[in-house]
Amino acid sequence: MLSKRLSAVSHVGLVLLVALFALASAAEEAEGIVFHDLNGNGVYDVGEPPIPGVAVSNGEEVVLTDSEGRYRLPMPGDGVVFVIKPANWAVPVDPDTQIPQGHYIHRPEGSPSVRFGGVPPTGPLPESIDFPLRPQREAAQFTMICLGDTQPRDLEEVHFLAQDLVPEVSDIDAAFGFTLGDLVFDDLRVFEPMTEAIGMIGVPWHHVPGNHDMDFDAPTWQQTFETYQHVFGPSYYAFAYGDAHVFVLNNIRWDVEERKYHAEFGEQQRNFIANYLAYVPKDHLVIFLMHIPVMGMYDRDEFFALFDAYPHTLSLSAHWHRHEHFFLDEEDGWQGERPHHHIVHGTAGGAWYRGYYDAVGIPTAVMADGVPKGYSLIEVNGNEYAMAYRATRRPETYQMDIYAPAGVEHDAVEGQEVIVNFFNGTERCRVEMRLNDGPWVTLEQFRGYAPFYLELFQRQELFLQLVADVEGLDAADDRVLRRIENLFRPVVGRGMPGPAETNHLWRGGLTDHGREGYNVIEVRAHDMFGAVHTAKRYLRVN
């Protein structure tokens, strides 16, 4: 008798579970339509044409809209759904920040309690999540603006960014721009003014998440980018422009218990990359944007395996506050036919807005490899690309520093070493110099410290030591020096970082004695993209 009752109860329970599962399944599926927004109001109106064949994703699966422009994707609990902008179409952008709006963040109960707010409750999943697109002409040749870490820690440093970089970048005819992570410096309240400053550039802007853009008080690593997503949308996604496909990726993994981060995409994000690449022709250009350099990622090899059959690829990161090119091969885990080009890009804020103030009150913030703060213009032409680095508020011709003494004795000229710091130089460059009208001599590339930056850093250290001497301190330890640094910060700025080795240095010796008086050292650098850059330095011979 008891067994019959249990059997009956079990049967009823099973029926209830099936019913609940069916209800949950119905509620956990996102669907909608991608349409041509004829009137630009962002709403799917009667008569507006659906757009078939557009990719839509939930962050892992990728589906194409059907002949009626419709898609359907699993949406279990908290999640995200976004349209992958196809070539020759545009998603709406926020008018103040230029951040693309082709996404829906689903948080029925809102984010967990985090200091900077996260995502407010969205309530139940909408019956239809629709994505408006409008046609735009996209040539195979276009320009992207690339920034490394902007990373302002407060409103004052947002002002530095706005006055230093935005005016000249806003005059560039670019299709879009992007920032390679560390958008701010831990205080996520700075997201708003920073995005408004970048929005003044006037082109769609993509913001890669960095390790200083997290909710450090989130209860799990999966929830460490809640506030980021509230401001920017999904922490990773993709879009197409012309014949190029751009992945905006998140390789920051925060260990909640150990309170430290490492670089990793994780299985779900790698699945998303693979699922979208399935729709990308092999002869198209594929660009990956991330914050931490790919060489140090935990799942680097698994990531590389996703696209090693694509011959036209480029990846970019920042994070180091230096500028350097890498050509990765089998020793680095890359199995493609030709080396994969990865650029660790210099930063918009240079060395964290540290260093002496210039004539208009902005820190010089030269990076530890001697590269000035700045940005790059990447010109795409079909599946090829070229890159040019620009130092902010300096002429386009400022591409290198030439280190040589200001004056030498006549007998010391021949063999005198000259060092060139070619900011955007790579192992695929050729750098030459000559004295006056003499023969061109090819310089040797080497890894070392930028000599002008060494002098700059040593002057800073000397200043601190001189102040310590004036105060009568025989032995000034780091704590004392930092106190002096903070005391004089309004005058000399934040302390600069120690010098870092770099490989964009070339050296060689002068080959003749020159002439009495001033002589000209001329350098020409042939970059890997076919451009030739020149610079001069004058040497007085006594």
Look up the CATH number of the domain holding residue 499: 2.60.40.10
Query: Does a structural domain hold residue 5?
Result: no
Asked if residue 308 and residue 267 are part of one domain, the reply reads yes
Asked if residue 212 and residue 138 are part of one domain, the reply reads yes
Asked if residue 502 and residue 444 are part of one domain, the reply reads yes
What's the chain's Rg over C-alpha atoms? Answer: 27
pLDDT score recorded for residue 403: 97
Q: Which helix (H) or strand (E) holds 422?
A: strand 417-422
- Nearest C-alpha neighbor of 174 from the set 239, 241, 89: 241
CB 32 within 8 A of CB 129: yes
Query: Does a structural domain hold residue 329?
Result: yes
Asked if residue 237 and residue 117 are part of one domain, the reply reads yes
Asked if residue 418 and residue 280 are part of one domain, the reply reads no
Query: Does a structural domain hold residue 404?
Result: yes
Query: Does a structural domain hold residue 15?
Result: no
Q: Tens digit of pLDDT for each residue in 274-316? A: 999 999 999 999 999 999 999 999 999 999 999 999 999 999 9
Displacement of CA 439 from its chain's centroid (Å): 41
Choose the final residue of a domain: 391, 412, 444: 391
Residue-number span of the structural domain to which 437 is assigned? 400-541
Residue 463 binned pLDDT confidence (cut-offs 50, 70, 90): confident
Choose the final residue of a domain: 391, 414, 449: 391
CB 196 within 8 A of CB 99: no
Asked if residue 384 and residue 407 are part of one domain, the reply reads no
Q: Looking at residues 258-273, what average pLDDT do you find?
A: 97
Query: Does a structural domain hold residue 249?
Result: yes
- Nearest C-alpha neighbor of 194 from the set 109, 96, 67: 96
CB 58 within 8 A of CB 43: no
Q: Looking at residues 435-456, what average pLDDT do you find?
A: 96
CB 520 within 8 A of CB 377: no
**HSE value, Cβ hemisphere, 13 Å, CA-based, for 170:** 14
pLDDT of 215 > 90? The answer is yes
Asked if residue 124 and residue 257 are part of one domain, the reply reads yes
Asked if residue 170 and residue 95 are part of one domain, the reply reads yes
Rounded Cα distance, 287 and 246, in Å: 5
Displacement of CA 413 from its chain's centroid (Å): 44
pLDDT score recorded for residue 4: 42
Asked if residue 450 and residue 305 are part of one domain, the reply reads no
| Cα-based angle 271, 277, 279 (whole degrees, multiple of 5) | 120
CATH number of the domain where residue 342 is located = 3.60.21.10
pLDDT score recorded for residue 474: 64
Displacement of CA 227 from its chain's centroid (Å): 19
Query: Does a structural domain hold residue 16?
Result: no
Q: What mean pLDDT is reported for the chain?
A: 93
Give the rounded percent of residues in the chain with a pLDDT score beyond 70: 94
β-strand pairing of 384-391 with 374-381: antiparallel
How many domains would you assign to the chain?
2
Rounded Cα distance, 473 and 404, in Å: 36
pLDDT of 334 > 50? The answer is yes
pLDDT of 2 > 50? The answer is no
Query: Does a structural domain hold residue 13?
Result: no
Choose the final residue of a domain: 391, 424, 451: 391
